[in-house]
Amino acid sequence: MYKEYFFVRILDLICITACGMLTVMSHKSGYFFLAAVILFILSFVLPSYAAKGIPEGHLRRCAYGNVILSVFPVSLLLSIIMLAVMIIEFETFSWSGLIIYVLVTFLVLLVFFWVGIIFVYTSSLQLGVDKRVIGLLCGMVPVANLIALRMIVKVTGREVREESIKYWLDKERENDAICATKYPLLMVHGVFFRDSEHLNYWGRVPEELKKNGAVIYYGGQESAGDVRTCAVEIKEIIDKITEETGCEKVNIIAHSKGGLDSRYAITMLGAAPKVASLTTINTPHKGCEFADYLLSKAPEALKNSVAAAYNKGAAALGDKKPDFIKAVTDLTHTGAAALNEEMAPNDGVFDAIYTQSFGSKLNKAVSGKFPLNLSYNFVKSFDGDNDGLVGERSCSWGSEFHFIKHEGRRGISHADMIDLNRENIEGFDIREFYVQIVHGLKERGL
């Protein structure tokens, strides 16, 4: 795939650059004009040959546009160099030749550029609104437009490469059902979010797991409920799944506060016999010290107004008894300590349940996505290395703990761990991360 990309770019560069040069010479012979027209058409045909090894659909369109845009700046530079040569050798070309060259080259490159932009803007899933807006705003600003173009080419090129690899990997193992666990998966969301059919909390992850054989259910507990209230709902959904499917148990994968909700359901509400495994993702098992500080320092009037506004919105979206303050209190270091003390006498139930936990490190606040990156530096002063919300020490729980670090500036945020922004992160595929977690459960016979 990459070899085809390279040669197609070179050929396309030759075609689009030679087109303008041949047009200038068309006054000498109609054959030059015909050759220019052929090269112009060919410059739009060639990029389609870069699609070898790329799945049908939006990725092929994205690859097509990416090739054109990657060729454009080099072709523009060569055209400027050619213009400079023509000016120096003015006697050979004359004013009419210069004018024809400038007009034809401008029109050809303009059409070429906008075809590329239209293809990537209408097909890329990774550019996002922000990058599209930046590209449009910088379009007419010298230098800035080239910087924006480089960003667009880089993002869409990575998307084509990574998504193609992902597609063919899934095709290769589609009959292997590597995520077809013995027991179904119960995916439990965190605080201030709800499971939704149209806006899945887990991003692209559930679809990827289903492709590989997984059967998935969702927690569906309160968005802003305290741990004890949400745990009751988790216990109810576990009972419902086992009753409706006839399976004896479920494998729970829980993110953030969902891990505390699940632990409480297992230790305090009798769900343990129906749980084969519990995997927690970036769960504040020991709470967040920065949350204690915020609750102690924030004026009562401010806390009450924020809580009232959130509770009203949560109720409108389906929560039965939303309680912002109680939900946040359970996530403080003090609140989590109280929960852990309450659950400790029954922790022996986990001897018969496979347990593992994961955490991640965001390297810099500016590397994460708004808004879950804003608290990174604040959390760091209290909890050390963190994902923007939860510190490393707090994530550690169960028989196995894995702390994910990402080289370079990026890091992996609290939101990245549920694919909230549907963003491809170079060197870390969140979908494959979950595939391997579930595959591991299958290998254990769970």
Pick from 9-18, 203-212, 223-232: least confident: 9-18
| Cβ 147 vs Cβ 153: under 8 Å | no
What span, in angstroms and rounded, lies between the C-alpha atoms of 356 and 366? Answer: 30
367-385: pLDDT as tens digits: 666 666 677 777 888 888 8
85-100: pLDDT as tens digits: 666 665 555 666 667 7
CA distances from 46 to 71, 141, 174, 221 (A): 12, 29, 32, 53
pLDDT score of 122: 92
19-26 long-range contacts (CB < 8 A, ≥24 apart) are 19/43, 19/104, 19/108, 20/79, 20/82, 20/101, 20/104, 20/105, 20/108, 21/82, 21/101, 23/100, 23/101, 23/104, 24/86, 24/93, 24/97, 24/100, 24/101, 24/104
* CATH T-level fold of 177-443: Rossmann fold (3.40.50)
Residue 4 has pLDDT above 60, yes or no: no
Provide CB contacts within 8 A for 354, sequence distance 6+: 276, 277, 278, 399, 441, 444, 446
Average predicted confidence (pLDDT) for the chain: 83
More confident residue, 20 or 204: 204
More confident residue, 387 or 274: 274
| Cβ 134 vs Cβ 141: under 8 Å | no
The mean per-residue pLDDT over the stretch 414-418 comes to 90
pLDDT band at 352 (very low <50, low <70, confident <90, very high): very high
Residue with tokens 């259910």: 217
Provide CB contacts within 8 A for 66, sequence distance 6+: 116, 120, 153, 156, 157, 160
pLDDT score of 206: 93
pLDDT band at 23 (very low <50, low <70, confident <90, very high): low
Dihedral angle sign, alpha carbons of residues 53, 58, 61, 66: negative
Q: Say how many CA atoms lie within 13 Å of 149 toward its Cβ.
A: 23
More confident residue, 166 or 303: 166
pLDDT band at 52 (very low <50, low <70, confident <90, very high): low
pTM surpassing 0.95? no
Residue spans of the domains in the chain: they are 2-170, 177-443
Residue 3 has pLDDT above 50, yes or no: no
More confident residue, 43 or 142: 142
pLDDT band at 284 (very low <50, low <70, confident <90, very high): very high
- In sequence order, what are the beta bridge partners of 356? 279, 400
Residue with tokens 């029109």: 107
CB burial class (10 A; 0-12, 13-18, 19+) of residue 198?
exposed
177-221: pLDDT as tens digits: 999 999 999 999 988 887 765 678 899 999 999 999 999 999 988
Provide CB contacts within 8 A for 365, sequence distance 6+: 373, 374, 376, 377, 388
